[in-house]
């Protein structure tokens, strides 16, 4: 499962294979928004819910919830059916997408990246207003904990996993460091290793939590969870390096966001640090590392289905092969 990373057929084939899972996730996200209420039945304000729906149901790859599903499949107990593994991991899948979407809504704000387009439609602060966008992001983040608290197994572990990944030592801290690096010349900035440390928090940490929560949802073995977390982090690194490449070369129509954002904001990226070809090479290496970590995870689950383990490897390759 190592070697050169495939492109077109791998991407289209994997997306087709994941079609039923994505439909399950989309339906569950819609049901969450339709039915969410306080303990006494009080529903959120309609305009706030409209803004949340605008952000959450605008499409997207749903890669983080799919990762949670895939890891739950690969690490489930021998007698657990595949559909039961997905059901167990569904609260984590929904919570991950709520947290991820909140981060996008806030990232797009004028005080941060000041973006006008996200997932092919106006960003929330453009479609509504800045205050509503802030509150919609706050609501998506906070509601995620309600969803995850209802997980069937290891709910507290999963809440801790995702909260740490999303908070000050994780994603938010990485976003802060990313802002600090804006405008810094490559020669004056941190090395590629330090840049990787920024992105380990900003991007990789949520992928790591997705994989770990997928494992926590179906079992209690801390060693398996740790190996899943390592795999998710490696996949997240590959995803981030490819994101830097796609900011230069990406398919704008499919990606639904403006190309060249990093250059516009004078961000320190792998493309700036290594050049375009150097960054593409690093993405391939990172994808291969993620594949190797999927294989390591498989050694800890002797009864793991070969197809489920192969799916993890193909997810890692997808992170690099995608065009948006």
pLDDT tens-digit map of 4-27: 334 445 556 777 889 999 999 999
pLDDT at 45 over 80: yes
pLDDT, position 265: 60
Helix (H, G, I), strand (E, B) or coil at 30: helix
More confident residue, 59 or 83: 83
pLDDT, position 206: 97
Query: Cα–Cα distance between 196 and 42 in angstroms, integer?
Result: 44
Confidence of residue 3 (pLDDT cuts 50, 70, 90): very low
CB 287 within 8 A of CB 1: no
Query: Cα–Cα distance between 287 and 280 in angstroms, integer?
Result: 11
pLDDT, position 270: 87
pLDDT, position 47: 98
CB 93 within 8 A of CB 25: yes
pLDDT at 269 over 50: yes
Residue 198: Cβ-neighbour burial (10 angstroms; 0-12, 13-18, 19+): buried
More confident residue, 16 or 263: 16
Among 88-102, 127-141, 261-275, 297-311, name the one with the lowest average pLDDT.
Answer: 261-275
pLDDT, position 180: 83
Helix (H), strand (E), coil (C) string for 214-271: HHHCCCCCHHHHHHHHHHHHHHHHHHHHHHHHHHHHCCHHHHCCCCCHHHHCCCCCHH
Confidence of residue 258 (pLDDT cuts 50, 70, 90): low
pLDDT digit string (tens) for 82-103?
A: 999 999 999 999 999 999 999 9
pLDDT digit string (tens) for 94-150?
A: 999 999 999 999 999 999 989 999 988 999 999 999 999 999 999 999 999 999 999
Query: Cα–Cα distance between 261 and 253 in angstroms, integer?
Result: 15
Confidence of residue 210 (pLDDT cuts 50, 70, 90): very high
Q: State residue 117 phi and psi, 5-degree precision.
A: -135, 135
Q: Average pLDDT of 185-212?
A: 81
Q: What is the Cα 247 distance to its own chain's centre?
A: 17
More confident residue, 194 or 161: 161
CA 288 → CA 80, 151, 200, 258, 280, distances in Å? Answer: 30, 32, 17, 29, 13
Rg of the chain taking only CA atoms, in angstroms: 19
| Domains of the chain (ranges, CATH numbers) | 8-321 (1.10.600.10)
Helix (H, G, I), strand (E, B) or coil at 118: strand
Among 141-150, 205-214, 301-310, name the one with the lowest average pLDDT.
Answer: 301-310
Helix (H, G, I), strand (E, B) or coil at 4: coil
Q: Average pLDDT of 229-246?
A: 94
The residues, ordered by sequence, that sit 6+ positions from 27 with a Cβ below 8 Å of its Cβ are none
pLDDT at 203 over 80: yes
Q: Average pLDDT of 231-251?
A: 89
Q: Average pLDDT of 273-292?
A: 93
End-to-end Cα separation, the chain, in angstroms: 23
59: left (phi over 0), alpha (psi -120 to 50) or beta: left
Q: Dig out the tokens for 4 from the structure.
A: 């050169």
Calculate what percentage of the chain has a pLDDT beyond 90: 72
Alpha helices in the chain (DSSP H): 8-17, 19-35, 46-56, 63-75, 82-107, 124-127, 130-149, 155-166, 171-180, 192-199, 205-216, 222-249, 252-255, 261-264, 270-274, 276-299, 306-321
Confidence of residue 251 (pLDDT cuts 50, 70, 90): low
Q: Average pLDDT of 242-271?
A: 70
Q: Dig out the tokens for 129 from the structure.
A: 């207003």
Give 53-56's long-range contacts (Cβ < 8 A, gap of 24+): 54/121, 54/124, 54/127, 54/128, 54/136, 55/101, 55/104, 55/105, 55/118, 55/124, 55/136, 55/137, 55/140, 56/29, 56/97, 56/98, 56/101, 56/140
CB 115 within 8 A of CB 123: yes
| Cβ neighbours of 105 (radius 10 Å) | 28
The residues, ordered by sequence, that sit 6+ positions from 81 with a Cβ below 8 Å of its Cβ are none
Mean pLDDT, the chain, whole residue set = 89
Q: Average pLDDT of 213-236?
A: 97
pLDDT, position 322: 86
pLDDT, position 128: 98
Residue 104's nearest CA partner among 120, 118, 122, 121 is: 118
More confident residue, 274 or 216: 216
């Amino acid at each position: 499962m190592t070697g050169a990373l495939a492109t077109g057929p791998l991407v289209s084939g994997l997306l087709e294979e994941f079609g039923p899972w994505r439909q399950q996730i989309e339906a569950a996200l819609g049901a969450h928004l339709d039915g969410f209420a306080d303990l006494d039945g009080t529903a959120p304000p309609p305009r706030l819910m409209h803004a949340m729906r605008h952000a959450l149901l605008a499409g997207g790859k749903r890669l983080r919830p799919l990762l949670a599903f895939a890891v739950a499949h690969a690490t489930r107990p021998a007698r657990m059916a595949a559909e039961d593994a997905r059901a167990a991991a569904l609260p984590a899948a929904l919570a991950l997408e709520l947290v991820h979407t909140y981060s996008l809504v806030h990232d797009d704000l004028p005080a941060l990246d000041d973006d006008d387009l996200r997932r092919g439609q106006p960003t929330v602060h453009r479609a509504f207003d800045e205050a509503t966008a802030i509150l919609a992001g706050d609501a998506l983040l906070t509601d995620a904990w309600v969803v995850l608290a209802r997980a069937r197994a290891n709910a507290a572990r999963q809440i801790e996993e995702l909260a740490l990944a999303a908070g000050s030592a994780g994603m938010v801290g990485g976003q802060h460091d990313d802002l600090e690096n804006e405008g810094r010349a490559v020669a004056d900035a941190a090395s590629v290793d330090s840049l990787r440390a920024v992105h380990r928090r900003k991007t990789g940490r949520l992928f790591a939590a997705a994989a770990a929560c997928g494992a926590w949802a179906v079992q209690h073995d801390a060693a398996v969870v740790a190996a899943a977390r390592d795999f998710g982090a490696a996949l997240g690194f590959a995803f981030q390096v490819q994101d830097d490449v796609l900011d230069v070369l990406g398919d704008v129509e499919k990606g639904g966001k403006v190309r060249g954002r990093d250059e516009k904001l004078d961000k320190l990226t792998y493309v700036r640090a290594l050049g375009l070809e150097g960054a593409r090479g690093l993405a391939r290496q990172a994808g291969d590392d993620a594949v190797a970590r999927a294989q390591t995870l498989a050694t800890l689950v002797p009864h793991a289905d070969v197809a489920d383990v192969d799916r993890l490897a193909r997810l890692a390759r997808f992170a690099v092969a995608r065009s948006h």
